[in-house]
C-alpha cells in the first residue's frame, strides 16, 4: 500500500501540494491525471525520495522496491537483451554472489531466491517484452548504441518491466511507443502483478489498464475508483452539484444580507438582524472548483477540389535502392479520414512522406491535384522549433506580410494566448510546443493534413479539442497514432501497412487490437484486404456500411459537442441575468414608495431561477448523451 499523508511541497515559492493525501491499495493500477504543470512528475520524484517534503509523509511497506524509466536511455555497446537483463539488479547481484559463494547454506538461499524471482526464465521473458515493444528477434543481440533515443527508451522500459518492482511508476510511457507497442503495454500493465501508478493522457489506456484515477487538482489529491471515463462523468456531476449548491447558498446569503441591511437600524428588528448576521458569519462558503482552461484548435478551411486529390498507380517507395513499399494503388478524396495501421518499421511514415511529396517514388506514379496544398506534422517538428524564439517570431517568419494582431489571433486559435505568444519556445510546455507545430503545419489551409503521432505532447483536454477540430475540418486527414481514442473518433477508413504492401483493413479498430494482442498468426485473414487489391474508394475500401456508420458516429459526436456548447452558453447567459436581478433585489431603494417594483423583480427572479434549473437539466442530459456517444465510439 502507498500512503500519501498530508504532504506539502513548493517549487520556487509556488506551492504544488498543500496538505495532499491519498491511499493506493497494494496491487492496484492507478492513472495519475491533472493539468500540465500541476506537479505529477514532481510527485513521482517525491515518492522516489529524490526530493524532500516540506511536511507530511509518504509511506510504503518496508523493503518495497520502486521502479521507473530513467530519463537517460541506455546507449552502451551492450546488447538489448543483456541491457534488459542487467536492469533486474537483484537477479544480477544474486548471480554474481552465487559464482563466488562457498557457504552451502548461503548457496541454498541464493538458489531459492533465484527460483522465486524466476531468474532462469528471465532471458525468455526479456525477449518477449522487447518483442512486445516492437523489436525484431534479430535486433535483440544488437548493441543499444545502434538505436535512436526513442528506441533506447523502449529498452529502458523493458528493463523495468522485467525487474517487476513492487511499485512501478511510469511517466507518459506511450510517448515513445507506436500503436502496437502502446496496445501491448496496455495489456501488460493490466496484468502486472504489483502496484502501478502511471501518468498518461492516453484515454484508451486509462480506460482499459487501470482500476482507479488519482486526480491532482488545486494542490490536492483525490482517488476515484474505476476507469477514466467513469471518473470524468462523476467529476462533472460533482462539479455541477457543487455549482448548484453554491448558487443556492449565494441566494440565501443575499437574502440574509438584505434583511440585515434593511432592519439593522430599527429597534424592533435589531435582534432578528443580529441573529441573521451571525448566521452569515457561521455560513461556510461552498467552493466550486475552477473550470479548466479550455483548449481549442482552429483549422483554416480549404476550398473544395475535384476528386481524387491524390492517386498512386503501381507506385513504390524506398531508400538507397531498397524498396520498402511496392505495388501501391491508392486513392484519396478530400472527405477521407484515413488511419494507417501497422507495426513499427513496416513503412507507415514512408507512405506518408510519399503521399506528401517529401520523397519521390522509385517506381510507378503519384498524381496530385494541381492546386493541392498538403500540411504535414511529424513528431520531430516539435524538436525542430527554435527554442530561443517566441511563437510570434515563428509565425512572423511563416507569414511576413501579415499584421501582428492577425498573427496573435492565429496563435489564440490554437490555445496560445498573449502570455505564451511572447514566451521563448524553450520555456513552453511540450503541449504548447505541439500546438505551435500544428499551427505551422496547417497555416496554409491544406486540403490534405498528414499527422504523424500528433498527440504525444498533448494532454487529454487538448486531444479532445483536436478530435473536435478534425471533425469539423473540410480537408482530408491521414493519421498515424497510438491514440486509439483519437483514431476511433476521427478515422473512417483503415489502411494496413504490412509486408511491403498497403491493403484495406476491413474490420474495425477493436478487431485490429484483438489481432495484435492475439499474436502475429491471427492476422492471416482477420481483416486485411486481398493482397493485390488497391486500397482506394470502391475497390478494396472498408465495407461501405461500416465506413458510413463510423462517419455517422463522428457526425453525431460533433453535433452533441455543439449542443453541449449551446447549453453552456445558455446557462452562462441566464446566470449573468440572475446576478443582475439579485443585485437589483439587494438595492434598498427598490423597496421605497411601495412594493410594486420589488414584486415585479421578484417574479423575474423566480422565472430566471426556473429557467436556470431547466438549463442545467438540459446541459446534464446533453453531456450524458455526448459521453455515451463517445463511449460507443471507443
| Closest to 87 (Cα-Cα) out of 122, 128, 112, 39 | 122
Asked if residue 443 has pLDDT above 60, the reply is yes
Cβ density class 147-161: b for 16+ within 10 Å, e for less:
beeebbbbbbbbbbb
Read off the pLDDT of residues 558-585 as tens digits, 9 standing for 90 and up. Answer: 677 777 777 777 777 777 788 888 877 7
Report the alpha-carbon distance of residue 462 to residue 294 in Å, rounded.
Answer: 8
Report the alpha-carbon distance of residue 459 to residue 143 in Å, rounded.
Answer: 34
As a whole-number percent, the residues of the chain with pLDDT over 70 amount to 84
Asked if residue 468 has pLDDT above 90, the reply is no
What's the rounded mean pLDDT across residues 328-337? 93
Who has greater pLDDT, 57 or 519? 57
Cα 243 to Cα 90, 163, 279: the distances in Å are 52, 47, 21
Read off the pLDDT of residues 68-83 as tens digits, 9 standing for 90 and up. Answer: 886 566 778 888 998 8
Read off the pLDDT of residues 208-226 as tens digits, 9 standing for 90 and up. Answer: 899 999 999 889 999 999 9
The pLDDT of residue 122:
86
Who has greater pLDDT, 140 or 250? 140
The pLDDT of residue 551:
55
Who has greater pLDDT, 114 or 364? 364
Residue 143 bridge partners (DSSP): 79
Contact between residue 436 and residue 391 where contact means Cβ atoms under 8 Å apart:
yes
Read off the pLDDT of residues 72-119 as tens digits, 9 standing for 90 and up. Answer: 667 788 889 988 888 888 888 888 888 888 788 888 888 888 888 778
The pLDDT of residue 271:
61
Residue 541 bridge partners (DSSP): none
What average pLDDT does the structure give for the chain?
82
C-alpha cell at 166: 513492487
The pLDDT of residue 524:
43
The pLDDT of residue 533:
38
What domains can be seen in the chain, in order of their start residue? 2-231 (3.40.50.300), 310-556 (3.40.50.300)
Report the alpha-carbon distance of residue 186 to residue 174 in Å, rounded.
Answer: 9
The pLDDT of residue 521:
43
- 194 band by pLDDT with thresholds 50, 70 and 90: very high
Contact between residue 250 and residue 243 where contact means Cβ atoms under 8 Å apart:
no
The pLDDT of residue 285:
60
The pLDDT of residue 280:
61
The pLDDT of residue 58:
93
Instruction: With both helix axes pointing from N to C terminus, report the angle between 149-163 and 179-190 in degrees, rounded to the nearest 10.
Output: 10
Amino acid at each position: 500500500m502507498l500512503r500519501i499523508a498530508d504532504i506539502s511541497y513548493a517549487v520556487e515559492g509556488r506551492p504544488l501540494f498543500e496538505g495532499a493525501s491519498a491511499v493506493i491499495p497494494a496491487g492496484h493500477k492507478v492513472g495519475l491525471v491533472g493539468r500540465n504543470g500541476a506537479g505529477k512528475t514532481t510527485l513521482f520524484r517525491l515518492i522516489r525520495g529524490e526530493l524532500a517534503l516540506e511536511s507530511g509523509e509518504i509511506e510504503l511497506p518496508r523493503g518495497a522496491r520502486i521502479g521507473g524509466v530513467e530519463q537517460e536511455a541506455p546507449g552502451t555497446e551492450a546488447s538489448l537483451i543483456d541491457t534488459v537483463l542487467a536492469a533486474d539488479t537483484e537477479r544480477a547481484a544474486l548471480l554474481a554472489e552465487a559464482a563466488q559463494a562457498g557457504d552451502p547454506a548461503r548457496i541454498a538461499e541464493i538458489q531459492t531466491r533465484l527460483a522465486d524471482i524466476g531468474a532462469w526464465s528471465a532471458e525468455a521473458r526479456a525477449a518477449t517484452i522487447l518483442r512486445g515493444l516492437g523489436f525484431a528477434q534479430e535486433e535483440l543481440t544488437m548493441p543499444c548504441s545502434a538505436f535512436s533515443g526513442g528506441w533506447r527508451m523502449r529498452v529502458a522500459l523493458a528493463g523495468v518491466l522485467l525487474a517487476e518492482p513492487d511499485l512501478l511508476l511510469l511517466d507518459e510511457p506511450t510517448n515513445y511507443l507506436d500503436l502496437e507497442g502502446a496496445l501491448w503495454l496496455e495489456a501488460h500493465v493490466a496484468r502486472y502483478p504489483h502496484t502501478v501508478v502511471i501518468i498518461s493522457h492516453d484515454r484508451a489506456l486509462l480506460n482499459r489498464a487501470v482500476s482507479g484515477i488519482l486526480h491532482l487538482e488545486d494542490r490536492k489529491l483525490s482517488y476515484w475508483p474505476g476507469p477514466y471515463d467513469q471518473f470524468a462523468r462523476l467529476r462533472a456531476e460533482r462539479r455541477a452539484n457543487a455549482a448548484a449548491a453554491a448558487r443556492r447558498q449565494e441566494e440565501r446569503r443575499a437574502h440574509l444580507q438584505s434583511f440585515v441591511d434593511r432592519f439593522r437600524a430599527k429597534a424592533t428588528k435589531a435582534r432578528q438582524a443580529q441573529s441573521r448576521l451571525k448566521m452569515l458569519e457561521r455560513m461556510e462558503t461552498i467552493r466550486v472548483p475552477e473550470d479548466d482552461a479550455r483548449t481549442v484548435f482552429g483549422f483554416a478551411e480549404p476550398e473544395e477540389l475535384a476528386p481524387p486529390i491524390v492517386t498512386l498507380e503501381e507506385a513504390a517507395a524506398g531508400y538507397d535502392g531498397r524498396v520498402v513499399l511496392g505495388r501501391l494503388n491508392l486513392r484519396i478524396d478530400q472527405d477521407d479520414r484515413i488511419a494507417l495501421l501497422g507495426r513499427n518499421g513496416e513503412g507507415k511514415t514512408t507512405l506518408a512522406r510519399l503521399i506528401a511529396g517529401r520523397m519521390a517514388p522509385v517506381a510507378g506514379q503519384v498524381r496530385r491535384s494541381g492546386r493541392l496544398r498538403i500540411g504535414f506534422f511529424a513528431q520531430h517538428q516539435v524538436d525542430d522549433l527554435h527554442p530561443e524564439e517566441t511563437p510570434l517570431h515563428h509565425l512572423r517568419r511563416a507569414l511576413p506580410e501579415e499584421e501582428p494582431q492577425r498573427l496573435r489571433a492565429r496563435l489564440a486559435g490554437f490555445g496560445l494566448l498573449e502570455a505564451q505568444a511572447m514566451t521563448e519556445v524553450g520555456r513552453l510546455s511540450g503541449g504548447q510546443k505541439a500546438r505551435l507545430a500544428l499551427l505551422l503545419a496547417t497555416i496554409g489551409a491544406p486540403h490534405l493534413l498528414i499527422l504523424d503521432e500528433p498527440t504525444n505532447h498533448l494532454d487529454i483536454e487538448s486531444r479532445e479539442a483536436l478530435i473536435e477540430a478534425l471533425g469539423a475540418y473540410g480537408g482530408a486527414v491521414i493519421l498515424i497514432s497510438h491514440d486509439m481514442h483519437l483514431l476511433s473518433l476521427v478515422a473512417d477508413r483503415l489502411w494496413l501497412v504490412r509486408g511491403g504492401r498497403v491493403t484495406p483493413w476491413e474490420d474495425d479498430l477493436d478487431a485490429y487490437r484483438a489481432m495484435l494482442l492475439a499474436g502475429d498468426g491471427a492476422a492471416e485473414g482477420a481483416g486485411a484486404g486481398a493482397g493485390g487489391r488497391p486500397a482506394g474508394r470502391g475497390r478494396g475500401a472498408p465495407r461501405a456500411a461500416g465506413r458510413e456508420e463510423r462517419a455517422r458516429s463522428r457526425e453525431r459526436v460533433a453535433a452533441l459537442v455543439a449542443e453541449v456548447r449551446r447549453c453552456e452558453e445558455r446557462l452562462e447567459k441566464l446566470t449573468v441575468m440572475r446576478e443582475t436581478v439579485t443585485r437589483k433585489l439587494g438595492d434598498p431603494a427598490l423597496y421605497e414608495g411601495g412594493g410594486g417594483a420589488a414584486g415585479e423583480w421578484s417574479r423575474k427572479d423566480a422565472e430566471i431561477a426556473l429557467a436556470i434549473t431547466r438549463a442545467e437539466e438540459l446541459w446534464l442530459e446533453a453531456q450524458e448523451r455526448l459521453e455515451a456517444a463517445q463511449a460507443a465510439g471507443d
